[in-house]
Amino acid sequence: MRDRMELTGARVVLPSGVVDNGTVAVEGHRIAEPAGGPGLDLTGHWIVPGFVDIHVHGGGGASFSSGDGAESMKVIDAHRRHGTTTMLASTVTGELGDLARQAASLAELVEQGELAGIHFEGPFISPHRCGAHQPGLLRDPDPADVRKLVDAAAGTARMMTLAPELPGGLDSVRLLAEQGVIAAVGHTDSTYDAVREAVEAGATVATHLFNAMPALGHRAPGPIAALLEDERVTVELINDGTHLHPSVLELAFRAAGADRVAFITDAMGAAGMGDGMYPLGPMEVEVKDGVARIHGGPTSGSIAGSTLTLDTALRRAVTVDGIAVEDAVKALCANPARLLGAYDRIGSLEPGKDADLVVLDEGFTLVGVMRKGEWVVRP
């Protein structure tokens, strides 16, 4: 028999709900049926599935935009220690040639099973909502250029964020959908009607909803209303206490429903680190009191991603925002797993799936992480 262990006595979050005094059995790298064998007593703890982050740029003092495999592994390792067992690597706006080279490097890590794919954020975004992206490097989403980046990823591109109102935007959304790449609406100055057109064309994700897009208006509802109301759209939320007010988070959960929310970090290199200066693509970012902002240039002072890790997002959701544990876990695990087409392997603690799990104490502070049956952080 392959190595087997049973984690017993914990409150376990399953698709059917919370099970008190539950057991999670692991055999090899898979979840197994409990059989009453030798166990690790986790009474007083929670066990939840490993987190899935579909939008992360960096962490641990490193960045995916470096194009360096060793540095990218630093990002992966930093977030794994905080419970993220599956992630997409997000790029930052740059020259097309640079982004293609980054994609080639990241594709190797996808092939090795370290990453679930690549997310291109920019350069096909609005100059009016560019946030931490360098304005001089932005361009319209010409389908030929979009195709160049998808091809450079050699089958590992999973998502691309673009502004659909720009010339070529809708054609690019259609192209991405045809290629099996998730088209995400973000960093956009779109109207309500333009976003509805984008969703009809195949867009299925709202990149960090509310951030880098027009505010919700009562006469001109803009992109937020269109993205919240359509059942085909998964909405990303950055739950770090800086990007969104708790009441706005609650609004999103009520409007979209818990099955359509995906918590993300949008983390840059300072995630898991301290205050200081960090690179974000070609930009310099200053982190002060845990908040990252562009330092210098035309977008100086703009929020530049986050320093968030998903264990903090979960703890805040439950203890500050009043989100039910089951709903918070959906947003961290099942929903992004389904979006990636990987729910048959990850996203819940069911027999046969990868043994990816997180152990939390009673206050929802992380104390253990397992990925594919191996402890990353031992409780």
pLDDT at 105: 96
Is the CA virtual torsion 346, 351, 357, 362 positive or negative? positive
Instruction: Determine what percent of the chain is predicted with pLDDT higher than 70.
Output: 99
**Second CATH level (architecture) for the domain 4-48+348-377:** Roll (2.30)
Is residue 245 part of an annotated ligand binding site? no
State the pLDDT at residue 277. 86
Q: How far apart are CA 277 and CA 287, in angstroms?
A: 6
How far apart CA 282 and CA 141 sit, in angstroms, is: 20
Q: How large is the average pLDDT for residues 30-43?
A: 91
pLDDT band at 2 (very low <50, low <70, confident <90, very high): low
Neighbour tally for 200: CB within 10 Å: 13
Of 289-293, 295-299, 323-327, 331-335, which range is least confident?
Answer: 295-299
- Mean pLDDT in residue range 29-56: 95
Asked if residues 228 and 253 have their Cβ atoms less than 8 Å apart, the reply is no
Please check if 187 is assigned to a binding site.
yes
pLDDT band at 303 (very low <50, low <70, confident <90, very high): confident
Residue 272: predicted pLDDT: 86
User: Which of these, 183, 67, 186, lies nearest to 125 by C-alpha position?
Assistant: 186
Do 4-48+348-377 and 51-339 fold alike per CATH? no
| pLDDT of amino acid 300 | 73
Say what the pTM is: 0.95
- H or E segment to which residue 253 belongs: helix 246-256
What mean pLDDT is predicted for residues 11-27?
A: 97
- By annotation, the residues acting in catalysis are 266
Q: How far is CA 303 from CA 133, 186, 192, 296, 319, in A?
A: 10, 15, 25, 12, 25
Residue 254, annotated as binding a ligand: no
What is the domain partition of the chain in residue ranges? Answer: 4-48+348-377, 51-339
Q: What is the pLDDT of residues 238-269, one digit of tens each?
A: 999 999 999 999 999 999 999 999 999 999 88
- Please check if 116 is assigned to a binding site: no
Is 58 known to sit in a ligand binding site? no
132 is in an annotated binding site: yes
- For 249-254, the CB contacts below 8 A with 24+ separation are 249/317, 249/321, 249/323, 250/321, 250/322, 250/323, 252/209, 252/210, 252/228, 253/323, 253/327
Residue 334, marked binder: no
| Rounded (to 5) percent helix, strand, coil in the chain | 30, 30, 40
Residue 242 carries which DSSP code?
S
> The tokens 């973000």 sit on which residue?
186
The 10s digit of each residue's pLDDT in 129-169 is 987 788 899 999 999 999 999 999 999 999 999 999 999 99
pLDDT score of 280 more than 80? no
Residue 220 pLDDT = 94
Class in CATH terms, 51-339: alpha beta
pLDDT in tens, 177-235: 999 999 999 999 999 999 999 999 999 999 999 999 999 999 999 999 999 999 999 99
For residue 305, say whether it is annotated as part of any ligand binding site.
Answer: yes
Residues 6+ apart with CB under 8 A from 370: 26, 50, 85, 355, 356, 357, 358, 359, 376
Give the DSSP per-residue string, 285-353. EEEETTEEEE-SSTTTT-B-SB---HHHHHHHHHHTS---HHHHHIIIIIHHHHHTT-TTTSSS--TTS
C-alpha dist (Å) from residue 167 to 76, 93, 115, 354: 35, 18, 32, 42
Is residue 128 exposed (0-12), middle (13-18) or buried (19+ Cβ within 10 Å)? middle
Closest to 99 measured CA to CA, from 127, 52, 133, 54: 133
Would you say the C-alpha torsion 153, 112, 311, 59 has a positive or negative sign? negative
Closest CA to 139 of 163, 109, 155, 160: 163
Q: Is the pLDDT of residue 1 over 50?
A: no
pLDDT tens readout for residues 81-127: 999 999 999 999 999 999 999 999 999 999 999 999 999 999 999 99
Phi-psi region of 210 (alpha: psi -120 to 50; beta: other; left: phi over 0): left
174 annotated as belonging to a binding site for a ligand? no
Strands 366-371 and 374-377: antiparallel
